[in-house]
Amino acid sequence: MRGARLLAAVALLAPLACSSKPSNNNYLGPTGGGGTSGTGGTGQNGKVTVTITAPADQASVNQNSSLTVAAMVDDDGTDFIDSTSVTATLTAGSSTTALAVGQLTSTGSDVYSGLISVGSLPTGTYTLTVSATSSGGAAGHSSVSIMISSGPTLTVNSPIEGKSYDGSVTIEIVVAQGAMPPMATLAGQALMPPPALATSANGTDVYRATVFFGPPGAAPSGVQTFNVVGPQLLDVTESDGSQTSEVKRLFVVDNTGPTITNTFPQPGDIVGGVVKVSATVSDDSGVLGSSVVAIIGDANGDPLFTLVLQPDLTGAYSALFDSRDLTAACDSNPSSLCIVLPTVSFRATDAVGNETSLGYAFALDNVAPLADLDPPPMRQLRLGPTGYECSYLFDPLSLNKFVGDMPNDLCLVPQVFDLRARIEDDGNHAVGLKITEISTVDPDNTNVYILNVPDTTNNPPLVVDTDGDGNCDAINPLLAPTTGPLTQNDQVLKIRLVGAMPGGSANFNSESDATLPNSECGKGTDLKPPPVLCDGDGFEQPTVAIGYSENLPAIWGVEPVDKARCLGGQFDTLANHVPENQWLCIAVATSDLAGNKSVSAPIRVYVQYQENGGFCATPPASAPPPPNCNGIFHPDSNTATTGTCATSKFTGTDYYCAPGGC
C-alpha cells in the first residue's frame, strides 16, 4: 500500500515538476491587486473568474521548497472550464518570462490545486499567476506576490535526482554546522533511526543514513528496510525554529534486471545457415550495452559460442551467426556426433548491476531437401484387417506405360511429356532422435532447369560443384536462366515446380504379387484396383500422390496443378523452342525455408517430336552419345567445365511409405 500511496503523490507532483531555468514561454502579465481575481475576456456565455486562495499575497517561501497553490476558477455562463488550461506561472517581479510553469488539477467544484517547486531561485520578490480558459474561449487570471528567502542551509547529495539504485542507498544530507538534525521521510515513512551525524567540518554537518530495499529481514539488523520498487520520493526538511527549508528527491528503486523480449530464434524454431540472433532489451535504469550477449550451447547447455549483440536499426540487439559452425564436425565426418537441438541463452545487465537471462532450446536444419527426377519404385504400407499390408511396387512419378509419361534417364521423349520430381526436405540427424526437425521445402525456390545440348562433345554442364568439395551444389552460374522460350545457346529454361497435395492410394489388390517380400507385410486385401487420382485422367496417371512428414507434398510438377492435372502439367518442347533430335539435360534446384540449397542428379532425354514407340523408347542409332550434365565451376577464372560431381538420390528397391507419411 505504501507504494500505491507514493505513486499517487508522485502523480500529483509530476505534472507540476518545474525548473528554475528560464523559458521563452510568455503568459498574461500579473494583474496585481494583492490576490484579487482578474478576468481576461468573455466567451460565448459569461466570463472566467480566477481567485487565488493559497498562498496569501506577500507570503514568504523558502528556497528549495514546494509551494502549495490553490485557486477558485469559475465560469458564470453556460461554458465550462478547460481543465488543461488551469496553470500556475512564476515570474520575477513584473517580468513576463516564466521561471516555472505547472498545471493545476481539479480537486472539487471550481477548486484547483497543486504543488510548484521554487527550486534554488535567489531570494527576492516574485509573482505567481494562475490562468484559466473556458470552452468558449474566455480567459481569466489572477496574481499574488511571494517572497523567496534563503532559509536554513540544506543540501541533499544522495540520492541523485532521477538515478536508479539497486538493493540500498546511502542518504547524505548537509546542513549548517551546529544546526538542528534534518528530518527525512521516504515513501511516506519517517527514517527510523533518523540520519546520524557522520562528519563535521568546514562549517557544515553531514548526516547519513543507509536504507535497504527488499522484503523484511533482508537488511542487516537495525537498518530500515523499504519493500518498494519503482519511483520513490525522499522528502528532507531542515528548520531553524522560524524558517524551514525543504528538498525533494525523486529516484528509482530497481531490483530487477532488463526485460528481454522478441527473441530470435524462438523456442522450438527451426533455423539453418546464417541466422540473425536478436532480442529486444529494455530497462528503466538503462541497459549496459556491453553486457548484452547470446550464448549458443550444446544440448546440455554447455557454451560453445558467445555472441556480443549490438544495437541495430530496428531498435533490437543482434548479431549474425552461422549455424553451420555447430555442425561442421559432422559435416566433415558423418560418423561424428552432430548437434540437433542446441540452446540459446540471452543475457543482459542494467546500469545498476541487475542481470537477466533467458534460455531455451531451438532446432537446427542444415540439411538441404533431396530432389530426384528418377527415384526408385516404392510400396505403400497400411494396416489391414489381418495386419500390415503392402501395395504393389509403383513409380511415384509415372505409370511408365504411355508415351508422354514422366521419362527416366536416357529415354527418347516426344514433343510433350510429363515433368515432375520427388522432393522431400531433410534435417539434422542423431542417434535416438525421434523427430527430425525440417524447415520444409521453399516453394519460391524450387524449379526445374532444362538445357538444350546441340553438341555433346563440347557442352556446358548443367549442375556444378562451386566450392570444390566434390558435390554438385548449384545450377551452372554461367548459364542465363529464362522463363520464356530458348533463344540463345547459353540460356537454360527455368520452370517453377508446384507441390501436389498427397492423396489417393497405391494398388492393394488381392491378386498375387510375386515381388512382395515376406518379412515386412502381407499382400493387399482389396478386391479391385484403386480409383483414379485425377479427374478425367483416363487411367493414364498414377493413382497416388505420395506425401511425407505429416502430409507434406513429396511430388512436385510443372503448373498447372489442378483437379484434372493433380500431379502437374506437361512440358512442350516445341512451344519452348527446344529443337528435336538433340539431347536435353534436366535437373531440379531447390531450397528449404532455412536456406539450405541442393540440386538433383540430372536426367538426359533425347527429343523427337513424332516419337511414338512407347514409353521410354531407346534413342535412335543416329543420336550422339548422351552428354555429361555434371561439372565444376572455377570461381577464380569464372569458367565451368564438364567433370565429376556427386549428387544425392533416393535409394532402395523396396521403400515402404505410410499414406501421407513417406
Domain ranges of the chain: 2-149, 154-253, 268-364, 370-642
63 pLDDT exceeds 60? yes
pLDDT band at 653 (very low <50, low <70, confident <90, very high): low
- 443 alpha-carbon distance from chain centroid: 23
What local confidence, expressed as pLDDT, does residue 659 receive? 56
Please report which helix (H) or strand (E) contains residue 498, including its range: strand 491-500
Average pLDDT for 320-344: 82
What local confidence, expressed as pLDDT, does residue 120 receive? 74
Omega before 502 within 30 of 0, i.e. cis: no
Q: In the block, which residue shows the cell 538445357? A: 451
| pLDDT digits 0-9 by tens, 587-600 | 999 999 999 999 99
pLDDT band at 546 (very low <50, low <70, confident <90, very high): very high
pLDDT-wise least confident of 70-79, 215-224, 407-416, 425-434: 215-224
121 pLDDT exceeds 90? no
Taking CA 120 as the corner, what is the angle to CA 115 and CA 124, rounded to the nearest 5 degrees? 95
3-state helix, strand, coil in the chain (%, to 5): 5, 45, 50
φ and ψ of 323, to 5 deg: -65, -15
Task: Report d(CA 352, CA 166) in Å as an integer.
Answer: 6
φ and ψ of 637, to 5 deg: -105, 0
What is the DSSP track for 154-219? EEEEESPTT-EESSEEEEEEEEETTPPPPEEEETTEE-SSPPEEEEEETTEEEEEEEEEESSTT-S
Q: In the block, which residue shows the cell 536504507? A: 211
Mean pLDDT (the chain, rounded): 86
Please report which helix (H) or strand (E) contains residue 62, including its range: strand 59-62
| pLDDT digits 0-9 by tens, 224-271 | 889 899 999 999 999 988 788 888 899 999 989 999 999 999 999 999
- According to DSSP, the residues that pair with 320 across neighbouring strands are 276
CATH hierarchy code of domain 154-253: 2.60.40.10
Which of 448 and 28 is assigned the larger pLDDT? 448
Task: Report d(CA 524, CA 530) in Å as an integer.
Answer: 11
pLDDT band at 97 (very low <50, low <70, confident <90, very high): confident
SS3 call for 349 = strand
pLDDT-wise least confident of 135-139, 177-181, 277-281, 646-650: 135-139
* Amino acid letter for position 591: S
Task: Report d(CA 366, CA 322) in Å as an integer.
Answer: 10
Q: In the block, which residue shows the cell 528556497? A: 63
- According to DSSP, the residues that pair with 471 across neighbouring strands are 646
8 Å CB contact between 79 and 138: yes
The answer to whether 2-149 and 154-253 have equal CATH topology is yes
From the CB of residue 184, how many other CB atoms can be counted at a distance below 10 Å? Answer: 23
| pLDDT digits 0-9 by tens, 551-578 | 899 999 999 998 889 999 999 999 999 9
In Å, how far are 230, 522, 555, 586 from 449, measured between CA atoms?
63, 41, 17, 6
Task: Report d(CA 541, CA 335) in Å as an integer.
Answer: 41
8 Å CB contact between 526 and 400: no
Among 23, 31, 22, 27, smallest CA distance to 50 is for 31
From the CB of residue 299, how many other CB atoms can be counted at a distance below 10 Å? Answer: 12
**Grid cell for residue 235:** 522528502
* Amino acid letter for position 131: S
Q: Are strands 544-545 and 503-504 parallel, antiparallel or unpaired?
A: antiparallel
SS3 call for 332 = helix
Task: Report d(CA 588, CA 448) in Å as an integer.
Answer: 4
Task: Report d(CA 398, CA 522) in Å as an integer.
Answer: 24
Q: In the block, which residue shows the cell 486385401? A: 525
pLDDT-wise least confident of 323-327, 365-369, 405-409, 586-590: 323-327
**Grid cell for residue 29:** 502579465
pLDDT-wise least confident of 8-17, 27-36, 240-249: 8-17
**Grid cell for residue 197:** 551525524
135 pLDDT exceeds 90? no
- According to DSSP, the residues that pair with 416 across neighbouring strands are 572
Which of 52 and 216 is assigned the larger pLDDT? 52
What local confidence, expressed as pLDDT, does residue 156 receive? 94
CATH hierarchy code of domain 2-149: 2.60.40.10
SS3 call for 7 = helix
Give the domain 268-364 fold: Immunoglobulin-like (2.60.40)
What local confidence, expressed as pLDDT, does residue 158 receive? 96
Using a pLDDT cut of 90, give the percent of the chain over it: 58
SS3 call for 17 = coil
pLDDT band at 114 (very low <50, low <70, confident <90, very high): confident
8 Å CB contact between 608 and 580: yes
Among 117, 82, 92, smallest CA distance to 102 is for 117
SS3 call for 10 = helix
Residue 535, Cβ density class (10 Å: 0-12 exposed, 13-18 middle, ≥19 buried):
exposed
Q: pTM surpassing 0.95?
A: no
pLDDT band at 657 (very low <50, low <70, confident <90, very high): low
Q: In the block, which residue shows the cell 566433415? A: 332
